[in-house]
Chain A
Amino acid sequence: MPAALLLPAALGLLFLVLPLVGLLVRTPWSTLPHRLAEPEVLTALRLSLQTATLATLFCLLLGVPLAWLLARVEFPGRRVVRALVTVPLVLPPVVGGVALLLVFGRRGLLGGWLDATFGITLPFSTAGVVLAEAFVAMPFLIIAVEGALRGADTRYEEAAATLGAGRWSAFTRVTLPLVAPGIAAGAVLCWARALGEFGATITFAGNFPGRTQTMPLAVYLALETDLEAAIVLSLLLLAVSVAILASLRDRWITAP
């Protein structure tokens, strides 16, 4: 084994693992149970789980049909649409937050109309958190589901059609079950991304405890006042992330 490869490989691993070790080393284990039970922590955790789940549902509702459109329908400008879908993936989340404000803010393109017509105000609300998280996380779902749809054999849909299934029932009875593993994987990635969302959320929804202060925001805030609290919150997020990683082990982590 050449040292020229082995050495940087070991350093790379160290670089990835060391910060996590640091987190574990500095964790105040003795006061951990007490700190975890603090109402602020629980509130932030609950809000994070709720908004990430709602954002994932929102992404499934709109993202699966969009993925289907990209995978199965030939239309002019499909490449452009696919590129647009992946923009939030490379966009700095803060920029996403600003963009959301410009559209859904009180004076935004749609925000003013939403406010005047339905009395709906999205920025600096829990719904705004969901929106910001969904904006950033949706590409993960779309890419995973589109890939699954492309990999699925369309002839199963033809077989369903010859058995009397229309487009819709062929989609729900045959296509969706066939790509279910892909959708599940996409949803978990999407949920994990939503859970860790920071930039777009703090820009678009602000940082109000109990309303828009999710775990990452709480960590950032705690860092300025109480380092140990920040560590505890970080550990909690780490635990949740590792749990997700473990659940994805078979699909994504092991080599094909």
Chain B
Amino acid sequence: MTALSVTRADAEAGTPLLDAHLVADRGAFRLDLALRISAGEVVALLGPNGAGKTTALRALAGLLPLTGGRITLAGRDLDRPDLDRWTPPERRPIGVVFQDYLLFPHLTALDNVAFGPRRHGADRRRARRCAAEWLDRMGLAGQARRKPRQLSGGQAQRVALARALAVDPALLLLDEPLAALDARTRLDTRTELQRHLAEHPGATLLVTHDPLDALVLADRLMIVEHGRVVQEGDAATITAQPRTDYVARLVGLNLYRGRGDGAIVRISDDFFLTTTEHPHGDVFVAFPPSAVALYPGRPDGSPRNIWPATISAIQRHGDNLRIQLSGPVQVAADITPAAAAQLRLAPGQPLWAAVKATETRVYPAAAGGLGRPGR
């Protein structure tokens, strides 16, 4: 509607549809993140529990007051705490899909979807026709007369999406949209959700702690920890060059931060890694667990990094075993069950860990100043 006509003009002019700087204090916790999303773009806020993702979403929706910063959507200032300006949630062109959907239990699927258009001034017949079209588009025409408790998880999720989209929001917010579903439904629903998000002309912000949801659904990822953005970029960059332990664990890499000094990177006073590059200054070193080889005694020969380590845990990881090792640095190693049997691995057992210099990746840590110290 009106919001979206502004949207397109803005998109052509190159200004992001949503331009927000969210600052909110909740006791000792402080959320402080800048967010810009263009029309048609899907951004994922990815982070561990308690990182402030849902707080950010609630602040955008107007369900939580900002203590600072601002929210500008489609050229309109929704929140300007400095000017005492605040727009109540019902007057924001924003649609929300809540984590457990919050479909109104006393209304049918059709009336749930018609609720928004009705509140936006459509008469009952027009609102229902609009709702019927949305349900049809979601493949739910046959479920229109059902009450929420008669819907399956996947159906309820789609009704919630239809309800949020039926008011033509300039900004669509999704809070863990797939978290309430079982694994199988999740797979189908994720694919379908991706299609609907691609069709949404406005901006979309997705909040999730599931990296797969973020990678599949979003054009751009923002990693949030402790209320701040620690890394931002497309999926390829983030998976190749993680900048925090959390991201490294998500994408399955060992990550260290140190000082480049010629061909070595000094991680701590008594530990360094040899690389094939010649890094200088503050850098990250990353290598996959599969690059770590384990030996019962000290190996010799070829140029590589070797250090003594102790097994702290053994987990199953796909077809392999993932061995967590303590020592001068914490490291994860992936080995085959056959190799593990040969080495007679058990927690507490001392070993030697080795990583070839060619397997390491080095990249500067200073870029953007977002990185936090590694281990």
| Partner-B contacts on A (CB < 8 A) | 153, 155-156, 158-166, 169-170, 173-174, 177-178, 180
Which partner residue on chain B sits nearest A165 by CB separation?
B119
Q: Cβ of B90 and Cβ of A164 under 8 Å apart?
A: yes
Determine the distance from Cα of A180 to Cα of B96 in the docked complex, in whole angstroms.
26
Q: Cβ of B106 and Cβ of A177 under 8 Å apart?
A: yes
Does B104 belong to the interface (CB within 8 Å)?
yes
State which of A153, A162, A177 has its C-beta within 8 Å of the C-beta of B89: A162
- Shortest C-beta distance, B44 to chain A (Å), equals 20
Q: Which residues of B lie under 8 Å from residue A180 when comparing CB positions? A: 106
Q: Cβ of A164 and Cβ of B63 under 8 Å apart?
A: no
Question: Could you name 18 residue pairs across A and B whose Cβ atoms are closer than 8 Å?
Answer: A158-B89, A160-B104, A161-B62, A161-B88, A161-B89, A163-B119, A163-B164, A164-B116, A164-B167, A165-B90, A165-B115, A166-B88, A169-B119, A170-B90, A177-B106, A178-B104, A178-B105, A178-B106
Q: Cβ of A159 and Cβ of B102 under 8 Å apart?
A: yes
Q: Per-residue 0/1 for B39-57: is the Cβ within 8 Å of any A Cβ (1 yes, 0 no)?
A: 0000000000000000000
Q: Which residues of A lie under 8 Å from residue B89 when comparing CB positions? A: 158, 161-162
Which partner residue on chain B sits nearest A162 by CB separation?
B96
Q: Cβ of B120 and Cβ of A164 under 8 Å apart?
A: yes
- Shortest C-beta distance, A126 to chain B (Å), equals 37
Q: Which residues of B lie under 8 Å from residue A161 when comparing CB positions? A: 62-63, 88-90
Determine the distance from Cα of A158 to Cα of B164 in the docked complex, in whole angstroms.
13
What number of residue pairs across chains A and B have CB atoms under 8 A from each other?
Answer: 61
Does B94 belong to the interface (CB within 8 Å)?
yes
Q: Which residues of A lie under 8 Å from residue B105 when comparing CB positions? A: 178
Q: Cβ of B119 and Cβ of A164 under 8 Å apart?
A: yes
| Partner-A contacts on B (CB < 8 A) | 61-63, 88-92, 94-96, 98, 102, 104-107, 115-116, 119-120, 163-164, 167
Q: Which residues of A lie under 8 Å from residue B107 when comparing CB positions? A: 177
Which partner residue on chain B sits nearest A153 by CB separation?
B102
Q: Which residues of A lie under 8 Å from residue B94 when comparing CB positions? A: 162
Q: Which residues of A lie under 8 Å from residue B61 when comparing CB positions? A: 158, 162
State which of A156, A164, A166, A177 has its C-beta within 8 Å of the C-beta of B102: A156
Known: A153-B102, A160-B119. 18 other contacts (CB 8 A): A155-B98, A158-B63, A159-B96, A161-B63, A161-B88, A163-B95, A163-B119, A164-B91, A164-B116, A164-B120, A164-B167, A165-B90, A165-B115, A169-B119, A173-B115, A174-B104, A177-B106, A178-B106
Q: Cβ of B115 and Cβ of A163 under 8 Å apart?
A: yes
Of all A-B residue pairs in the complex, the 7 with the closest CB atoms, nearest first, are A164-B119, A163-B116, A161-B89, A159-B102, A177-B106, A162-B96, A165-B119
Q: Which residues of A lie under 8 Å from residue B104 when comparing CB positions? A: 156, 159-160, 174, 177-178
Q: Cβ of B106 and Cβ of A163 under 8 Å apart?
A: no
Q: Which residues of B lie under 8 Å from residue A155 when comparing CB positions? A: 98, 102
Determine the distance from Cα of A174 to Cα of B105 in the docked complex, in whole angstroms.
9
Determine the distance from Cα of A115 to Cα of B61 in the docked complex, in whole angstroms.
53
Determine the distance from Cα of A166 to Cα of B164 in the docked complex, in whole angstroms.
16
Determine the distance from Cα of A33 to Cα of B119 in the docked complex, in whole angstroms.
56
The verdict on A163 contacting B88 (CB below 8 Å), with A155-B98, A173-B115 known, is no
Determine the distance from Cα of A1 to Cα of B62 in the docked complex, in whole angstroms.
60
Q: Which residues of B lie under 8 Å from residue A178 when comparing CB positions? A: 104-106
Determine the distance from Cα of A161 to Cα of B106 in the docked complex, in whole angstroms.
17
Q: Which residues of A lie under 8 Å from residue B92 when comparing CB positions? A: 162
Determine the distance from Cα of A158 to Cα of B89 in the docked complex, in whole angstroms.
8
Counting chain B CB atoms within 10 Å of each CB, the highest count among A160, A161, A170 belongs to A161
Counting chain B CB atoms within 10 Å of each CB, the highest count among A159, A162, A169, A180 belongs to A162
Q: Cβ of A162 and Cβ of B95 under 8 Å apart?
A: yes
Determine the distance from Cα of A117 to Cα of B91 in the docked complex, in whole angstroms.
45
Determine the distance from Cα of A159 to Cα of B163 in the docked complex, in whole angstroms.
10
- Shortest C-beta distance, B188 to chain A (Å), equals 25
